[in-house]
Amino acid sequence: MKKEENVTVEKVTTEKELKKEQNKKLLEELTKKLEDLQKDLDVKRFLVDGGTESAKKFLNFVETKAKWKFTEVLGIVELQRVFKDFLKGGKSKEFLMGPIEIEALYYFLSKEEGIGTEGTIEYNELLKLINTPKSKMDAMRKEFEQLQFRMASVENGIDPDQVEEELKK
């Protein structure tokens, strides 16, 4: 007759398994944050100082000074529509622009060239007006890129706070 023995098996969680579980939770958190931030970026409207006066100045620039080639005309037409719609509405004094409109206007402003001081005051004013919303938008995009980087690091088993040390190994 064989003697029966009761054996107790304890599950020992290794450091690797523990880290994998922590990474799984961190990935879920990062995924949620990325999704939320992406939704924010998709629908966010940025306040442009000056309201109606700013819209008039931007419209004047788009209609008379913005340089374009080939299909860039579509951006000009869309910006013109946005500015005219705002000015026609007249209900709100707050002028809000989406990321695409901000990028397009900034692009056309960046193509502007000049000689001497003629037109510098008006051009500088346009840059100042669009710079604030563009800076806010760029900060949101930078945060999004940093979250993507953290997520990629975690997915590859690298501690996102210790990336340089991990890469030296």
**Over the stretch 20-30, which tens digit does the pLDDT of each residue have?**
667 788 888 88
> Does residue 54 lie within any of the structural domains?
yes
Alpha-carbon gap, residue 157 to 161, rounded angstroms: 12
DSSP class of 111: T
- pLDDT, mean of residues 125-137: 93
Give me the pLDDT at residue 91, please: 65
- pLDDT, mean of residues 93-118: 90
> Does residue 150 lie within any of the structural domains?
no
> Does residue 27 lie within any of the structural domains?
no
Quick: pLDDT tens for 37-78: 888 888 899 999 988 999 999 999 999 999 999 999 999 999
> Does residue 50 lie within any of the structural domains?
yes
Assess contact for 57 and 33: CB atoms under 8 A. no
Residue 131 domain boundaries: 43-142
Amino acid at 121: I
Residue 126 has pLDDT above 60, yes or no: yes
Average pLDDT, the chain: 83
Amino acid at 167: L
3-state secondary structure of 14: coil
> Does residue 115 lie within any of the structural domains?
yes
Domain count, the chain: 1
Compute how many other C-beta atoms are within 10 angstroms of the C-beta atom of residue 129. 21
> Does residue 155 lie within any of the structural domains?
no
> Does residue 122 lie within any of the structural domains?
yes
Instruction: Give me the phi and psi of 6, to 5 degrees please.
Output: -90, 125
Compute how many other C-beta atoms are within 10 angstroms of the C-beta atom of residue 37. 17
> Does residue 133 lie within any of the structural domains?
yes
* pTM (predicted TM-score): 0.74
Instruction: Kindly give, in sequence order, each residue whose CB lies less than 8 Å from that of residue 50, ignoring residues fewer than 6 positions away.
Output: 57, 95, 129
- pLDDT, mean of residues 121-132: 92
